[in-house]
Amino acid sequence: MMFRDKVVAEYKKIQDDICEGLTIADGKGRFEEEIWTRAGGGGGRTRVIQHGNVIEKGGVNFSAVHGKLPEAVKKAFKVDSEDFFATGVSIVIHPSNPFVPIIHMNIRYFEMDEQTRWFGGGIDLTPHYVIDTDARYFHHYLKNICDEYDASFYPKFKRQADDYFFIKHREETRGVGGIFYDRLKPDHTGLDWDQIFNFSCAVGNSFLPIYTELIDRNRNTEFTEVEQEWQYQRRSRYAEFNLVYDSGTKFGLETNGRIESILMSLPPMAKWTYNHKPAENSLEAATLTKLIKGVDWV
């Protein structure tokens, strides 16, 4: 089996396992699947869950595409070749309860030839209300995974997540970060290709235990209309980041990806209230003080 085929098979299994686990955790919602093909080559499986007990809208997508890279992408990647292959799993979950956080995960493999290939990905948490114990649990879990492969991974990838998931025009982080890595390959790590692949799968398989725990902690928390309005405000910031800065969104649009799958990450409802400012000493104001780079959650 070719290396890329092994990656595809395992990524499909991760998608299957996560969809099954989220269906059980939600208790009501069911995933709808669309199989799609890309005109330039390849395709994927888009799975969306809506109107559940916990999940208002969520997507767990798998894709494996190939073809010719557009000039803009070649310049961004600093490569000369045209032929590419890319596969990945991408997840965004928007819960209905403001005390259950938004979560995003992506694992991906990109290949042009034997010399030009790499893994990328990450997982990050965007609470509408930052709950310190949840943020610490999340980061400890990720650190333990990273430490199994390389003790330098967590501090490096955590810093990269802080830098990447930063809304420059708001001067705030999208949430409490997580880990983010790109162009991961043997000459950068001391690991071989199989070990890096195993790390990618470990990140993918971390999603379900992490998020089901956070759902169980917060799903029954009562909330007010004011707190739901704050949730809509925070969702607007999430949308701003994905439309302005997210590299996956840009890559999908520039390679003629499936638009519904690319924009699956956007929330079902968001609000842009003019010059919105939270009340002094409120939970909302406290959350804003923690949307900064460099918070040590472990």
* Cβ atoms 258, 38 nearer than 8 A: yes
58 burial type by CB count under 10 A (0-12 exposed, 13-18 middle, 19+ buried)? buried
Nearest to 59 by CA among 270, 271, 266: 266
Structure tokens at 7: 């990656």
| Calpha distance 286→278 (Å, rounded) | 9
Residue with tokens 């099954």: 20
- Which residues does the annotation mark as catalytic? 104
| Calpha distance 56→91 (Å, rounded) | 14
Side chain identity at residue 236, one-letter code = S
| Calpha distance 180→246 (Å, rounded) | 12
| Calpha distance 131→55 (Å, rounded) | 19
